[in-house]
């Protein structure tokens, strides 16, 4: 192919056009056929790891660019990577709502809840019959501490 390319270039791209096209087709088709043979030989291996390696080889790893994004706050199109990140972050991860602090100055206790006293046996039986795991709940108290 290189030989015909040089000859074609030396004749100022007039002669050897057809020969160059045929040589180019032969070259690239040979590469395609040899790649296919090599791939088939690779897939015929009876190795358990070759399946996962084949998946990695065929996995699509191309990434596409994200087009410009419209920023609602500034009313402009943002095109840089950092600006796009900020738009995604502000849109997807909103600030959590803020609750006012609790004012316990005027709090008075209520005697409405009257809990009966539990014996250690009742407490142990109720805890071990319902809770089987050792994972703490929302109060971070484990079963072992209670029992």
Domain that holds residue 127: 118-147
User: 33 and 8 in one domain?
Assistant: yes
Tell me: the pLDDT tens digits for 41-59?
888 876 777 777 887 878 7
User: 39 and 26 in one domain?
Assistant: yes
Residue 28 confidence (pLDDT): 92
Domain contains 51: yes
For 25, 35, 36, 40, the CA distances from 29, given in Å and listed in that order, are 6, 10, 11, 16
Residue 51 confidence (pLDDT): 76
Question: What is the DSSP annotation of 60-73?
Answer: -----PPPPEEETT
**Rg, Å, the chain Cα set:** 37
pLDDT > 70: percent of the chain: 87
Contacts of 31 (CB under 8 A, 6+ apart): none
Q: What rounded mean pLDDT belongs to the chain?
A: 82
User: 135 and 87 in one domain?
Assistant: no
Highest mean pLDDT among 2-6, 28-32, 101-105, 126-130: 28-32
Domain contains 110: no
Q: State the DSSP H helix or E strand holding residue 17, giving kind and residue range, or none if neither.
A: helix 17-43
Least confident piece of the model among 16-20, 25-29, 44-48:
44-48
Residue 33 confidence (pLDDT): 95
Domain contains 134: yes
Number of domains in the chain: 3
């Amino acid at each position: 192919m290189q030989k015909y390319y040089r000859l074609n270039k030396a004749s100022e791209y007039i002669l050897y056009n057809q020969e160059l096209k045929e040589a180019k087709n032969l070259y690239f088709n040979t590469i395609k056929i040899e790649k296919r043979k090599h791939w088939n030989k690779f897939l015929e291996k009876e190795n358990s790891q070759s399946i996962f390696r084949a998946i990695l080889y065929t996995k699509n790893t191309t990434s596409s660019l994200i087009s410009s994004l419209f920023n609602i706050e500034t009313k402009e199109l943002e095109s840089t990577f950092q600006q796009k990140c900020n738009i995604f972050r502000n849109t997807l991860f909103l600030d959590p709502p803020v609750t006012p602090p609790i004012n316990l100055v005027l709090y008075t206790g209520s005697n409405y809840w009257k809990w009966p006293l539990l014996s250690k046996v009742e407490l142990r039986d109720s805890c071990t019959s319902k809770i089987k795991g050792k994972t703490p709940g929302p109060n971070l108290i484990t079963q072992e501490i209670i029992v």
